[in-house]
Each structure stands twice: as structure tokens, then as C-alpha cells.
Amino acid sequence: MKFSQLANPRILEQPTYQPGRPIEEVAKEQGIDPGDICKLASNENPWGASKAARDAARDALDDVHRYPDGSSLVLREKLAKHHKLSPDQFIIGNGSNEIIELIGHVFLNEEDEVLFGEYAFIVYKLVSLLMGAKPVCAPMPGLRHDLQQMKKLITERTKLVFLPSPNNPTGTSNTEDEIFSFVRDLPDHIIFCLDEAYAEYLEHSPDLRTLLQEGKKVMGLRTFSKIYGLAGLRIGYGYGSVELIKLLQQARQPFNANAIALAAATAALDDQAWVEECRQKNNAGMQQLQDACDQLNLPWIPSDANFLLIKIGDGQKAFHELQALGVIARPMPQGLEEYIRISIGTTQENEIAISAIKKVLPILKNPA
């Protein structure tokens, strides 16, 4: 008997997440020195984590024979101060992706529907399918979440709504007003999850506390992988009502967040000056990339995050040609085939990406 015959049938059909390609792998495949590869594929912070966070991670190594604090209390207390909530309103995860999965474990059954936009972050769909629930995709005219359209797709079976704002891969976001009126109209059997992975890049991120005070079933998801520059450590968090967080805590593994990640995240949160510096550098890099696209007559989708969706023509081909030049970008799924997503890098990385795009454009136009 094959293992696959023993497996949960759902697993056999489960699509897998396609991550940005790693530097080492591309370097080896293309015969390029890893130092010459420019990875702009995973929306990482190109300036790295704050020095305080890196020092804290190094210090934590000395105690690595001990289990981490299973309740992540120190970080939750720090987050409580940062967000002006209480520590029992936070759950720490092995990346915010883990929290998305926990939400699935706690709330989803086979008869449930999960609503999100057709070009929303792909993990909502993956988790819905894994739990046997039904993903329902709302149209996104102009590649933006249209909350009025989404509202029309709500049924008795809708259990969860995910809204990433800013969204990955489109970079588009929704205003606080749009989000508040959408949530205030939701029936009581629906939980609204605002995925705020890129919230720190916004001038003003919606204040979910207002909705929490009104007793709405909302939660926020945040990560240390993006502006905080700790993607490799895997740490993120969710926040919401005490009642909701308690249920999520019940579903997680005892030591889901590791000690090094906890120490680094705690220090990173304290260094808001670094966050502000990265935000400003990102704005400049965004301008640099947009200006270059304008000069090349390449349309792009206005982005509120640290990446840009560029309409390049044949996205797959562009991805491969750029990769041969040492630039790792991100090809897009069905519906967005004409686009390529490029993360904002350092000024120099952006320069390299721009000249690679220039070289690739004629090849895209004239299929050899």
C-alpha cells in the first residue's frame, strides 16, 4: 500500500505555497556568485534588522539550552504597551502565517466559507482548503479590494473574512473608513481578520481598537518579517478580544515561538527609530522604482507597501530573464500573468534591478 493511499485525501489535492527563490539556489543554477545576486522576491527589509534586535538575538544564544517562555509574556507585555491593549489580547506565532493557520484550526469546519479577494495573499486560500472549508474569492476591480463587492458574497455560511491591507501582491490598501463601515455591517457570525503585515509602511493604519471597543468580531495580524527585518526568525502576532485570543492560545503548540526570535522581536519593537528610518528609505526606493518604470513606459499599481507590481508583459518570461541576470523577482499567479512583483531594495539593488529590466524589455517584446 502506498503512503498516499493512507493520507488524508485533502492533502493530496492541497496546493503548495511558492516562496521567492533562495539566493544560494539561484546562484548555483545560474552560475552566478551569491554575492552578485539581488533578491527582491520576498518583501524582506533590505537594510536588515535593527542592531539592537541582532544583539538581543546573539545574547539569547547563551541560554539556548533552555526552553523559551511558553507564554511569550515579555513580548506580549511590550506589545500591549505599543498598541495600548492588554497582554492577554495578544498571541505570538511562528510568523503570522502560523496565526492564520490557528484561526483555521479554531474556527473552520467543512461547511464554512472563507471570503477574501481574488488577488489576496494566497495563504488564506491554502489554510481554508487545508481545513476543508470553502474559499470564496471576491472580484478585485483595479486589483484593489472592493469591500462593497465583497459584502455581496456574504452568506449564512461565511465564517471568516480576510482583508490584507496593504495587500500582497497588489500593494493596494483600504482606508480606515472603508474598513470600519464594512465591519460594522457584518452579521454577528462572521470574524474579520485584518492582515496588517505591511501596516508599518502606511502613514495611518486603521485603529482596530475602535472596533474592538464596539464589541466587533475583529482581529489584527502583524509580523516581524517585513519592516522589522526578522523574516528568518519566524515571528509574528495576532491581537483581538481576550475571548478570541484565549481560543487561539488553546490551539497552538506549547513552544511555538523560539527564544531567539522572542528576544529579537522584543528588542526590535523598542527600536522604533530604526522602523522610521526604514520606512523613509523604502519611500525613496519606491519613488526610484516608479520613476524608472515611468521612463520605460511600464505601468505599475500604486503601492502602499515595500514592493511594486509592474505590468511587464509576459511575467514568467521576465522572471526567468531577470533571474539569468542575477535579479530574483516574483512571478505572479493566474490573472496577474502580465505582472511581476519587485520588492524595494537598497538604492544600489534597485539600480541593478532597473538596468536588468531595461535589458530584458527588448527580449520580451521580440520573442526569439
List of residues contacting ligand PLP (CB under 6 A): 43, 95-97, 121, 164, 168, 195, 197, 223, 225-226, 231, 236
Give the residue among 214, 258, 225 at the shortest CA–CA distance from 63: 258
C-alpha cell at 135: 474559499
Report, in Å, the least distance between residue 7 CB and ligand PLP. 25
Q: CB 298 → ligand PLP: shortest distance, Å?
A: 23
Smallest gap from residue 48 Cβ to ligand PLP (A): 16
Q: Are 47 and 25 in contact (CB under 8 A)?
A: no
Residue 95 vs 345, nearer CB to ligand PLP? 95
We find the least distance from the C-beta atom of residue 236 to ligand PLP, in angstroms, to be 4
Question: With respect to ligand PLP, which residue has the nearer C-beta, 96 or 321?
Answer: 96
**Closest CA relative to residue 150, chosen from 186, 198, 199:** 186
Nearest to 54 by CA among 260, 296, 221: 260
For the chain, give the longest Cα–Cα distance.
61
Task: Rank residues 126 and 292 by Cβ distance to ligand PLP and give the closer one.
Answer: 126
Considering beta carbons, is residue 187 or 232 the nearer one to ligand PLP? 232
Q: Could you check whether the bond before residue 46 is cis, i.e. omega within 30 degrees of 0?
A: no
What is the residue-wise DSSP string for 128-164?
Answer: HHHTTPEEEEEP-GGGS--HHHHHHT--TTEEEEEEE
Q: Are 114 and 136 in contact (CB under 8 A)?
A: yes
Identity of the residue, 195 or 349, whose beta carbon is nearer to ligand PLP in the bound complex: 195
Minimum distance of ligand PLP from residue 34's CB (angstroms) = 22
The least distance separating ligand PLP from the CB of residue 180, rounded to whole angstroms, comes to 20
Q: Which is nearer to ligand PLP, 158 or 168 (CB)?
A: 168
Tell me whether residue 193 or residue 357 sits nearer to ligand PLP (CB atom).
Answer: 193
Grouping H, G, I as helix, E, B as strand and the rest as coil, residue 104 is helix
Q: What are phi and psi of 272, to 5 degrees?
A: -70, -20
The DSSP result for 179-201, as a single string, is: HHHHHHTS-TT-EEEEE-TTGGG
Q: How far is the CB of 120 from ligand PLP (least distance, A)?
A: 8
**Closest-CB residue for ligand PLP?**
95
